[in-house]
Amino acid sequence: MKIIPGQIVADPGEHVLLTGPITGTVTTTDGTVVDVTQPAVVVPADQVDEVAHLVGLRYAAEGHPDDPPDEPFQYEVPKTFVKYEPHPDNSTIVATEES
């Protein structure tokens, strides 16, 4: 994958996830640490959904830099992740319970 101004170019077969303006890392349940600081990252096919979910949880917990502070980031947890328990290294993420 190449990031050039205004464009993200993925190589064939790459699974690219757009992360938005977030910094730092997320850790998948198997302990894989993914740096999500770049506007897009390449992740293994079997981890795309989990990393996207972790990014969504980070924005919900910490706020999205492009959102006004008085309007919390809205993230609807997919049913797949309702009972998800994040890796302990994701200390800012709170597991979501089904209501």
Strands 33-35 and 16-18: unpaired
When pLDDT is cut at 50, 70 and 90, the band that residue 56 belongs to is very high
Q: Which two tokens stand for residue 91?
A: 């200390």
Statement: residue 94 has pLDDT above 60:
no
Instruction: Please compute the mean of the pLDDT values over residues 44-56 and round it to a whole number.
Output: 95
**Separation CA 92–CA 94 (nearest Å):** 7
DSSP state of 16: E
When pLDDT is cut at 50, 70 and 90, the band that residue 95 belongs to is very low
The pTM of the full predicted model, rounded to 2 decimals, is: 0.83
**Separation CA 66–CA 21 (nearest Å):** 8
Instruction: Please compute the mean of the pLDDT values over residues 84-98 and round it to a whole number.
Output: 67
Q: Which two tokens stand for residue 2?
A: 């190449």
